[in-house]
Amino acid sequence: MNIDLPKANVMCPNTNNLLYDFEFKLRLQHYAPSSIKAYKNALAKFLGAFEGYDLKQLTVLQIQNFIHHLQVKNGISAIYQKQILASITKFYLLYYKRKLELAPLYPKRRAKPLPKYLTVSEIKRLLQQCTNLKHGCILKILYGCGLRVSEVIALKIKDIDADAMRLLVRAAKGKKDRALPLPLTLLQNLRQYYLAYRPKDYLFEGQNGGIYTAKSIQSFIKNMRGKPRF
């Protein structure tokens, strides 16, 4: 790759150490695990390309050449390009207190299609035909309590307050916690689910433990919507 930048004569920090420290700083700032992973992977691409260079002296033009190289040689997507630029911007703010002006390097925004919402009848049909206890509880919290997918997967067992009959949604949009009424039927379903699955920390966990993924929820809803009606 033609970066057109002389290599540094100074000692350059180890890439693995930088990535570890970068991840540590993002955790301190309460970034979501998925965001930390995306930032870290994108930054690793950047640091790998400039290994042995004085990072502090890089210019926007050199970063532009780097992005162009990825477009030509790797055919990176617009989303991945945004992730790399965001990780570079964050990295320079954290380590060099330098705000890079990378806005011109971001892909041109496209008009977003209107989100597809489920109708009331579709929601009722999903609930009626759902035979999976975990999926049923997720659907009822999603559509009965009005939570986002990201909020559902972030729920922990301690967020279910059976005595007060409420559901605590932490760090929701606007960075404020909120409490929602917990219907008795949903509480009963959650108790059955807990006895069957025994989650340890998060209310809904993957097969090997840990947080359930948004992709899993989106996948089973998509599959259920595609099933024929009887």
Of residues 24 and 115, more confidence is placed in 24
Tokens of residue 37, six digits: 């992973």
Helix (H, G, I), strand (E, B) or coil at 163: coil
Q: What is the pLDDT of residue 5?
A: 43
H helical segments located in 118-213:
120-129, 133-139, 149-154, 184-197
For the chain, give the mean pLDDT.
Answer: 84
pLDDT bucket at 8, cuts 50 / 70 / 90: very low
114 has a pLDDT exceeding 70: no
Q: How confident is the model over 143-151, as a mean pLDDT?
A: 88
pLDDT bucket at 10, cuts 50 / 70 / 90: very low
CATH domain 120-225 topology: hpI Integrase; Chain A (1.10.443)
pLDDT bucket at 6, cuts 50 / 70 / 90: very low
**Is domain 15-105 annotated with CATH 1.10.3720.10?**
no
Q: What is the pLDDT of residue 66?
A: 93
CA angle 166, 208, 83 (to 5 degrees): 80
pLDDT bucket at 227, cuts 50 / 70 / 90: low
pLDDT bucket at 230, cuts 50 / 70 / 90: very low
Non-local (6+) Cβ contacts of 4 within 8 A are 62, 65
pLDDT digits (tens, 9 = 90+) for 41-82: 999 999 999 988 888 889 999 999 999 999 888 888 888 899
Q: What is the pLDDT of residue 75?
A: 87
DSSP 156: B
Q: What is the pLDDT of residue 129?
A: 85
Strand partners, 180: 167
User: How much of the chain exceeds pLDDT 90, in percent?
Assistant: 45
Of residues 199 and 228, more confidence is placed in 199
Q: What is the pLDDT of residue 12?
A: 52
Q: What is the pLDDT of residue 16?
A: 86
Domain boundaries, the chain: 15-105, 120-225
pTM, entire model: 0.49
Q: What is the pLDDT of residue 11?
A: 42
pLDDT digits (tens, 9 = 90+) for 162-197: 999 999 998 755 567 888 999 999 999 999 999 999
Alpha-carbon distance values, 124 to 25, 40, 67, 225 (Å): 44, 41, 47, 11
Of residues 186 and 118, more confidence is placed in 186
Region class of 205: left (phi > 0), else alpha (psi between -120 and 50), else beta: beta
Q: How many CB atoms lie within 10 A of CB 51?
A: 12
Helix (H, G, I), strand (E, B) or coil at 115: coil
113 has a pLDDT exceeding 80: no
